């Protein structure tokens, strides 16, 4: 089957990761377009990845059947309004990875009746291990669903949502989630150094422990709770640590943080949309 031509508006970090992911997935570079105001970035895309690159967003829209909006949320409105006429003419699938902007706002800026898939990726997409929540509006066809899915799958795992509001929860869980783990790693590393382990060894031990725990949780059939109980011998060191966490109300701390992120995501949608 002939692959759809995909165009990325905004050639920054996320677009770069997605384009590299698609090419690693055997997507023909010739079927990929990118637009950006920075000529030096465009040259690098052409020279290093062999994709088509232009400074003109309208030219890109005219060339492709899937347009990925990969600019910062703060400029999505003018960028969308700028390509409105071209989108009206070619009726592409529009995939937005901009955090917080609701599909109805994007549709309004693009002139109304547009097929839109809104995605919430996270930073591990930069190393091919992202987690992305996707929501499709009513205009998206089954074929377009597959197209959006295969783009985001090229940089990690995907989960479909049937209610757009859930993207605020996805933002709180996986969108912002990597930073929660970094905070935990930062805190563990600091204590390890205080306990006398060298900085270099502390970092390695903490990184490998985070990686190993995640790998084990993904490969084992047990739930995280069962895995935790299995490594917690009665009267042992892990039990002492877990009971210290529980005594400090760890679960409440996690709940408050995630609810705060979810609320902020909804607030940002109100601020940036409309």
Ligand X SMILES: NC(=O)c1ccc[n+]([C@@H]2O[C@H](COP(=O)([O-])OP(=O)(O)OC[C@H]3O[C@@H](n4cnc5c(N)ncnc54)[C@H](OP(=O)(O)O)[C@@H]3O)[C@@H](O)[C@H]2O)c1
Order the strands of the 130-136 sheet from edge to edge: 52-54, 32-35, 6-9, 66-69, 93-96, 116-120, 130-136, 156-160
Binders in 113-172 for ligand X, by CB under 6 A:
121-123
Q: Is 60 in the site for ligand X (CB under 6 A)?
A: no
What is the radius of gyration, based on Cα positions, of the chain? 21
Which tokens is 191 given? 């204590």
One of 31, 36, 63, 168 touching ligand X (CB under 6 A):
36
One of 99, 110, 167, 173 touching ligand X (CB under 6 A):
99
Distance between CA 271 and CA 274 in Å, rounded?
Answer: 8
With CA atoms as reference, report the closest residue to 68 among 140, 24, 5: 5
Contacts of the segment 251-257: beta carbons below 8 A, 24+ positions apart: 257/180
Q: Is 181 in the site for ligand X (CB under 6 A)?
A: no
Smallest distance, ligand X to C-beta of residue 154, A: 15
- Tell me the window of 10-18, 157-165, 205-213, 236-244 that interacts with ligand X (CB under 6 A): 10-18
Smallest distance, ligand X to C-beta of residue 15, A: 6
- When the beta carbons of 173 and 202 are compared against ligand X, the nearer one is 173
Binders in 66-95 for ligand X, by CB under 6 A:
70-73, 75, 79
Q: Which residues bind ligand X (CB under 6 A)?
A: 9-15, 35-38, 57, 70-73, 75, 79, 97-99, 121-123, 175
């Amino acid at each position: 089957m002939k692959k759809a031509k995909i165009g990325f508006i905004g050639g920054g970090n996320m677009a770069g990761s997605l384009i590299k992911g698609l090419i690693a997935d055997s997507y023909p570079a010739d079927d990929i377009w990118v637009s950006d105001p920075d000529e030096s970035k465009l040259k690098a895309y052409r020279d290093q990845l062999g994709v088509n690159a232009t400074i003109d967003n309208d030219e890109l829209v005219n060339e492709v059947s899937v347009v990925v909006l990969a600019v910062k949320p703060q400029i999505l409105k003018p960028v969308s309004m700028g390509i409105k006429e071209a989108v009206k003419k070619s009726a592409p699938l529009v995939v937005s990875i901009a955090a917080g902007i609701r599909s109805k706002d994007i549709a309004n800026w693009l002139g109304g009746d547009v097929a839109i898939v809104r995605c919430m990726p996270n930073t591990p997409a930069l190393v091919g291990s992202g987690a992305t929540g996707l929501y499709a509006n009513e205009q998206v066809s089954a074929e377009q669903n597959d197209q959006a899915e295969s783009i985001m799958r090229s940089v990690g795992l995907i989960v479909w949502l049937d209610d757009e509001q859930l993207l605020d929860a996805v933002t709180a869980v996986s969108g912002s989630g990597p930073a929660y783990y970094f905070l935990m790693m930062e805190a563990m590393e600091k204590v390890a150094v205080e306990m006398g382990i060298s900085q270099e060894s502390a970092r390695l031990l903490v990184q490998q422990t985070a990686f190993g725990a995640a790998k084990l949780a993904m490969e084992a059939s047990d739930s995280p709770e069962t895995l935790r109980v299995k490594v917690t011998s009665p009267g042992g060191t892990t039990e002492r640590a877990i009971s210290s966490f529980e005594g400090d109300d760890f679960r409440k701390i996690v709940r408050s943080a995630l609810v705060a992120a979810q609320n902020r995501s909804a607030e940002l949608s109100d601020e940036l949309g409309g």
